[in-house]
A and B are shown apart, each in its own frame.
Chain A
Amino acid sequence: AQSVAQPEDQVNVAEGNPLTVKCTYSVSGNPYLFWYVQYPNRGLQFLLKYITGDNLVKGSYGFEAEFNKSQTSFHLKKPSALVSDSALYFCAVRAWSGTASKLTFGTGTRLQVTL
């Protein structure tokens, strides 16, 4: 069974400071890893994904994530946070298999960026 853990319910950071939102995963075989962002009363917006290749993945809005196989982690980062980054962030994983398969989401981390 695949699972995702987001250990922090909320992350608070001042605008201009770097941010990290943590994610660890468990899956059989090679993982596909995703980050999504959800603004209030909105759907899930794709930020970035890791399939294979370079461990540092760059995505939308200046976000990036680092895949660490030995630590089974895929932490989301941004060098300089903006107030507009305040939202709910979900990490998701699926196993690398040949059939259509589900994404398993973490419980979400609320990012609060303040002036």
Chain B
Amino acid sequence: EPEVTQTPSHQVTQMGQEVILRCVPISNHLYFYWYRQILGQKVEFLVSFYNNEISEKSEIFDDQFSVERPDGSNFTLKIRSTKLEDSAMYFCASSLASGWGYTFGSGTRLTVV
């Protein structure tokens, strides 16, 4: 069964450093998403991406965050200058059609120290 692949599974970074979280969505999917889950809390939407542009973003997704689909397969989330409160599990997801059959990756645990 097709999977969404996320790398790395765990990343530790120092406060103020830039991080890039990588995702390979399912190959024929058209819609891409990032969500995050702070430890013990609910899963929160960050951003959705379609047709090479952001289609929706939450208030969490401020200027420190950016997304990119640099080639035909990867979808990345960049955090420009990490803060302690960015420590969370970040999930990538993709779907073939809007609102249809989201598939989530296994997540990247980001720890900011």
Contact = CB atoms under 8 A, between A and B. Distances in A.
Interface of A: 32, 34, 36, 42-46, 49, 51, 90, 92, 94, 96-108
How big is the B interface, by class? 20 to 34
- The secondary structure that dominates the B interface is strand
Contacts of B49: 100
29 contacts: A32-B100, A34-B102, A42-B106, A42-B107, A43-B91, A43-B104, A43-B105, A43-B107, A46-B101, A46-B102, A51-B100, A90-B42, A92-B43, A94-B99, A96-B99, A97-B98, A97-B99, A98-B98, A99-B55, A100-B31, A100-B48, A100-B55, A100-B99, A101-B48, A101-B56, A102-B48, A102-B58, A105-B42, A108-B43
B65 interface: no
